[in-house]
Chains A and B, each alone.
Chain A
Amino acid sequence: MKKRTEVKTTISAFSVNTKELTGDNSAWTDLILSKTALVFATVVVLAAVYSLAASSSDIVKKNELEVITLDLTSNIDSIGSIHSNTDKPATIYFFDTSSRQLIDNSKLKISVSGEYVSSTFADNGRNMSAVRTLSYRTLPFSPDEFRNMLNGKFAADGNINHPVHSLFPYTDVTDFLAIAAADDLSLNTSKGVRIEKTSVFVTDGNEVNELEYILVYQ
């Protein structure tokens, strides 16, 4: 009550119709103040709800990006895990666009290198990215490129008939391929990605050993 009297006094100092205000016992000043506070509080709560909803759509986009990256990585890894004595395992991977809700193909960039698969999605000037490391030794080259590279460096293409001459632990071959595979290969998401297992045969003059790699190319 004391507070109300103070408010009334302050208002009466500035207002011409002081009698009307001071004589008013319906507590409208309190009412207006509390309603204004309520409107402010509502705006704050609504803004918080809106930002939560906006951040949840970011989470959904991020999850979709993670799923896209993981799907390609697990396809590459599953080719690496197949052991076959007869045929070299190979597959063509197509990006699944039907199950996506928020990620648009045109704004999606996917690249693969010898170490990881990375995806970047440009969303209103902000970039989201997801990275997954590969479990198997992978090279972002086509079989022809790969054999030509070996031929150019070691004068042997690493086939069973032309093994590369190298001594254990074959660091000259493995380091050369690891350095060459460090560059990213950007993938076209509307085309299939070819994934196949291949081998580099190495010999020390006595016995021939096989080093396994996975090739990823388009």
Chain B
Amino acid sequence: MNLNISSFTSDEKAFLEPNNDIIVTALVVIGFVVFAMILSKTFIAFNDNSQALENYEHAAMIAKDIASYPSLQGSRPELISAEALDRIASPVADEERYLLFHHFSANMDFYVEAGTDDGNYKWIIEQGTVSQQGRDVIAASLPVVIELGSNARCVPGTITVKIMQNKWK
């Protein structure tokens, strides 16, 4: 072993020395490239997540707004009347539906689904036909209590808002 080391240290041909720098430089460059890649990947992931969160919060705000819309309220403000949902989802209630959708911006394309959790009742409130073809759908659901009929039977349900957005190209 001692013999080997001494033959290595006493080697004056400088065979390895100049190449050391190249190896070290290559390592530094590779390290930097990997660092930059990780950094940009993290940033892209953060950007995507924050955009998704922003979109979700947007949809959740609209769902909350619709859940507290005065025309849909039941006998108490925290209840949603099934009768009102029947009325507003029916094809003849054009004007009432128009007023519900009108206070939202004209460039928002969305529809509302309401239903009881047991799956017995489901309502879809939409204005015109909303095209989903090749578009991103952002949805947010809100738990609500739906008042069925006049005997004040209340069942748990959800209100879901689905916003259609054109995809980024």
Contact = CB atoms under 8 A, between A and B. Distances in A.
B102 interface: yes
B92 interface: no
Contacts of A102: none
Interface in B68-124: 68-70, 94-95, 98-99, 102-108
Contacts of A205: none
B54 interface: yes
A135 B62 contact: yes
Contact of A212 (B32, B62, B103, B108): B103
Nearest to B19: A34
A135 B95 contact: no
Interface stretch (A9-17, A76-84, A123-131, A156-164): A76-84
Q: Report, as a range, how many residues of chain B touch the other chain.
A: 20 to 34
Given A27-B14, A37-B25, A49-B32, A85 B105 contact: no
Interface residues of A, number: 41
Nearest to B163: A135
B94 A31 contact: no
A211 B99 contact: yes
Q: Which of A26, A34, A35, A59 has the most CB of B within 10 A?
A: A34
Contacts of B14: 26-27, 30
Interface of B: 12, 14, 17-19, 21-22, 25, 28-29, 32, 36, 39, 43, 54, 58, 61-62, 64-65, 68-70, 94-95, 98-99, 102-108
B61 A135 contact: yes
A103 interface: no
A168 B94 CA distance: 9
Contacts of A77: 61
Interface string A152-172: 000000000000000011000
Contacts of A203: none
Nearest to B24: A38
Contacts of A81: 61, 64-65
Contact of B105 (A37, A49, A134): A134
Contacts of B28: 41, 45
Contacts of B22: 34, 37
A37 B23 CA distance: 12
Contacts of A38: 21, 25
A210 interface: yes
Contacts of A211: 99, 102-103
A209 B108 contact: no
B105 A135 contact: yes
Given A48-B32, A49-B32, A209-B95, A137 B21 contact: no
Contacts of A45: 28-29, 32
A196 interface: no
B99 A135 contact: no
A209 B69 CA distance: 15
A59 B50 CA distance: 14
B105 A209 contact: no
A83 B70 contact: yes
